[in-house]
Chains A and B, each alone.
Chain A
Amino acid sequence: DGGITQSPKYLFRKEGQNVTLSCEQNLNHDAMYWYRQDPGQGLRLIYYSQIVNDFQKGDIAEGYSVSREKKESFPLTVTSAQKNPTAFYLCASSIGRDRKFVGNTIYFGEGSWLTVV
């Protein structure tokens, strides 16, 4: 089945440690996104990418890094510089810069829970 796979589902980070969240899609989408969701809150955009080897900062990029070496993959690294990383992280993809964009939705993975221990 086509979709977005995030792993791991649960992740624990120690102080001063970098951790990487995986996101893979087989929808042949050009655009991919990372969002952070805090309890009872909406989604805030961390990074997004419209094409391979290119990505842009979202509203809360500090303390995070990404790469887009393959169309299917958009991993997110939570660095030690992110002082409050405990949250639910959601990866998403969409058709991207295409004339059909306005009529196409964004698809989400099942999310990853990150907790600082």
Chain B
Amino acid sequence: KQEVTQIPAALSVPEGENLVLNCSFTDSAIYNLQWFRQDPGKGLTSLLLIQSSQREQTSGRLNASLDKSSGRSTLYIAASQPGDSATYLCAAVTSGTYKYIFGTGTRLKVLA
């Protein structure tokens, strides 16, 4: 059974700092690994999707990497801004299923 873990659970950084969020998954047979942002009381918004055959994806100040052999993905945020404050969740889709299994998220606060 696929299990997804995110560390740290919460993170507080000063504005302008570069930071890394971590995601681990137990079953490396995946279709893809995705990163989402969730603002308080809202739904999730997709940030980046890395297919099983890919190693990384970039969008603006965000870069996500995937290492299936170690069961890890990282989300790198460059030059953080107060507007980046939110909860970030990763989700893995195990091959042969169409179920998205989510981690518990990292709550990020960027201080002005």
Q: Chain A residues in contact with chain B, CB under 8 A?
A: 4, 31, 33, 35, 40-45, 48, 50, 58, 88, 90, 92, 94, 96-97, 101-111, 113
Once the chains bind, are A102 and B104 in contact (CB under 8 Å)?
Answer: no
Interface residues on B, range: 20 to 34
A42 CB contact (under 8 Å) in B32, B51, B52, B103: B103
Give CA–CA (A88, B102) in the complex, Å: 15
Residue of B nearest to A111 (CB): B43
Once the chains bind, are B46 and A107 in contact (CB under 8 Å)?
Answer: yes
Residues from chain B with Cβ under 8 Å of A90 in the complex: 43-44
Residues from chain B with Cβ under 8 Å of A108 in the complex: 43-45
Residue of A nearest to B95 (CB): A102
Residues from chain A with Cβ under 8 Å of B43 in the complex: 4, 90, 108-111
